[in-house]
């Protein structure tokens, strides 16, 4: 069985790692990012009809200023983000399945003004007619390096689970920097955009059936067992 490498930031890394171990997988890797807050100015809540949020990090790192926005419903990219919103005292209006663009498209045909709470690295969205979006940056991802022991293992091959486009791009940088052979590495990606950003040259690239951690790890489990080419 091939080893599995996880690269997402904490606290997600530990959650995914435990889930993967419970599935009988050999887990390696480390977060390739440290998430840190950035200073931001909160606008008047009355100006908006809702919040558009693509990551739970907005609620983990937004600070006390978020408290002035709790009257606005949250349109969350997925269940983890929705849970973080509820934990921070917000009501959830919509929970997406399939990425932030699909969530925004579901709102098409309505006249709404949304405040997007995001990180420095964020998806570019196509905004439907009638919808206006202002963006505030609440956090940034500080890149980290692969551990030496993981570099040594990856030279022999393995399965890498990619939870975000940022992780895909960072992993490419690390592979090039350490001259790792991509053909020995199979990728499990959480969505089509992540697969696209991962680029070419890998042993294989696969996309989870749905954009959730459990679906991604189920895909990774199959790749670890089959080697990605079955």
Residue 77 sits in the same domain as residue 170: no
Select from 89, 112, 141 the last residue of a domain.
Answer: 141
Kindly report the CATH number assigned to the domain that includes residue 46. Answer: 3.40.50.10090
Q: Taking the complete model, does pTM exceed 0.85, yes or no?
A: no
- Same domain for 70 and 13: no
DSSP 128: P
Question: Which residue among 141, 176, 191 closes a domain?
Answer: 141
Do residues 41 and 114 both lie within one domain? yes
Upstream peptide bond of 11 is cis (omega within 30 degrees of 0): yes
Task: Answer yes or no: do 42 and 135 share one domain.
Answer: yes
Residue 212: the pLDDT is 85
Q: What is the pLDDT of residue 210?
A: 84
Verify that 178 and 134 share a domain, yes or no. no
Q: In what order do the strands lie in the sheet with 92-95?
A: 33-37, 131-143, 112-119, 50-53, 74-76, 92-95
Q: Which range marks the domain in which residue 181 is found?
A: 4-32+145-226
Query: In this structure, are residues 162 and 168 in contact, taking their beta carbons and an 8 Å threshold?
Result: yes
The count of domains in the chain is 2
- DSSP code string of 36-83: EE-------GGG-SEEEES-THHHHHS-GGGGGGTTSPEEESSHHHHH
Please name which of 2, 11, 18, 96 lies closest in space to residue 53, comparing C-alpha atoms.
96
46 and 137 belong to one structural domain = yes
Domain end: 109, 141, 173, which one? 141
Contacts of 14 (CB under 8 A, 6+ apart): none
pLDDT tens string for the chain (230 positions)? 999 999 999 999 999 999 999 999 999 999 999 999 999 999 999 999 999 999 999 999 999 999 999 999 999 998 889 999 999 999 999 998 878 898 999 998 899 999 999 999 888 899 999 999 999 999 999 999 999 999 999 999 999 999 988 899 999 999 999 999 999 999 999 989 899 999 999 999 999 998 889 999 999 999 999 866 54
**Sequence-ordered list of residues with C-beta below 8 angstroms from that of 71, at least 6 positions apart, any chain:** 45
Query: Hey, which residues does 134 pair with through a beta bridge?
Result: 115
Same domain, 136 and 149: no
pLDDT of residue 67: 95
Name the strand (E) or helix (H) holding 218. Answer: helix 213-226
167 plus 202 within the same structural domain: yes
């Amino acid at each position: 069985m091939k080893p599995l490498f996880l690269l997402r930031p904490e606290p997600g890394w530990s959650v995914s790692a435990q889930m993967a171990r419970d599935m009988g997988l050999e887990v390696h890797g480390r977060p390739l990012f440290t998430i840190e807050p950035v200073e931001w100015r909160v606008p008047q809540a009355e100006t908006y009809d809702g919040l558009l949020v693509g990551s739970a990090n907005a609620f983990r790192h937004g600070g006390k200023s978020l408290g002035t926005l709790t009257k606005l419903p949250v349109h969350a990219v997925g269940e983890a983000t929705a849970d973080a919103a509820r934990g921070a005292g917000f009501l959830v209006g919509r929970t997406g399945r399939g990425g932030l663009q699909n969530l925004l498209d579901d709102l098409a045909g309505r006249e709404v003004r949304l405040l997007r709470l995001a990180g420095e690295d964020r998806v570019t969205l196509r905004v439907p007619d009638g919808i206006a979006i202002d963006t505030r940056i609440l956090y940034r991802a500080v890149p980290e390096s692969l551990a030496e022991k993981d570099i040594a293992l990856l030279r022999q091959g393995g399965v890498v689970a990619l939870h975000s486009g940022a992780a895909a791009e960072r992993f490419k940088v690390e592979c090039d920097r350490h001259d790792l052979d991509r053909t020995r590495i199979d990728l499990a990606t959480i969505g089509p955009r992540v697969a696209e950003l991962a680029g070419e040259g890998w042993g294989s690239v696969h996309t989870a059936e749905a954009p959730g951690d459990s679906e991604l790890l189920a895909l990774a489990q199959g790749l670890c067992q089959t080697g990605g080419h079955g």
